[in-house]
Amino acid sequence: MVIAFLLQSVCLSSVLTVGKMSGPLFIISLALVFFTWGEVYAIFPSVTADFFGAKNASSNYSFMYSTKGVASIFAGGIAALIFERAGSWNAVFYGSAVLALCSTFIAMALRKMPLPAKHEETEPAPASRLGARHI
């Protein structure tokens, strides 16, 4: 995750620095940004299972994935408002690069955190072993 978020930050910044040099460089830099957005689909399910347990991994990840969808609805409107106030997309791209860089530091902190302890879950004993009567 550290590498993915760091690359995303660099690629977002490159759209405004390298991308303004020519049309093809702009397209290449945007394509690199799009390639850095796939780590969410590959890395987050396993991270969710590691931190919250495998027992409810699918429901926990579905919650995380839903929040990503809700955020995408609001992010477009917020980006448009920033563009209207700033007069260019620079603040949006640099702001996104800073947020990706913050995600890099958060991922580095997560690496140092211990994973939650895994507890052996024992299955309840069948009723016949507990002395229950069969009717």
Domain hosting 103: range is: 2-112
- The answer to whether position 130 is within a domain reads no
- The answer to whether position 49 is within a domain reads yes
d(CA 9, CA 84): 23
- The answer to whether position 6 is within a domain reads yes
Which letter, b or e, does each residue of 64-98 get, where b requires 16 or more Cβ atoms within 10 Å of its Cβ? Answer: eeeeeeeeeeeeeeebeebeeeeeeeeebbeebbe
- The answer to whether position 38 is within a domain reads yes
Per-residue pLDDT of the chain (135 residues; tens, 9 = 90+): 899 999 999 999 999 999 999 999 999 999 999 998 877 778 888 888 888 888 888 888 888 888 888 988 999 999 999 999 999 999 999 999 999 999 999 989 988 887 767 666 555 555 555 555 555
131 phi, psi to nearest 5 deg:
85, 15
- The answer to whether position 129 is within a domain reads no
- The answer to whether position 54 is within a domain reads yes
- The answer to whether position 118 is within a domain reads no
d(CA 97, CA 14): 10
Indicate the SS3 state at residue 89.
coil
Residue type, 22: S
Question: Which residues, 6+ apart, have CB-to-CB distance to 91 below 8 Å?
Answer: 82, 83
Please choose, from the candidates 34, 15, 35, 12, the residue with its C-alpha nearest in 3D space to the C-alpha of residue 25: 15
Number of domain units in the chain: 1
Relative orientation angle of helices 39-52 and 57-86, to the nearest 10 degrees: 130
Angle, CA 6 vertex, CA 13 and CA 91 arms, to 5°: 30
- The answer to whether position 80 is within a domain reads yes
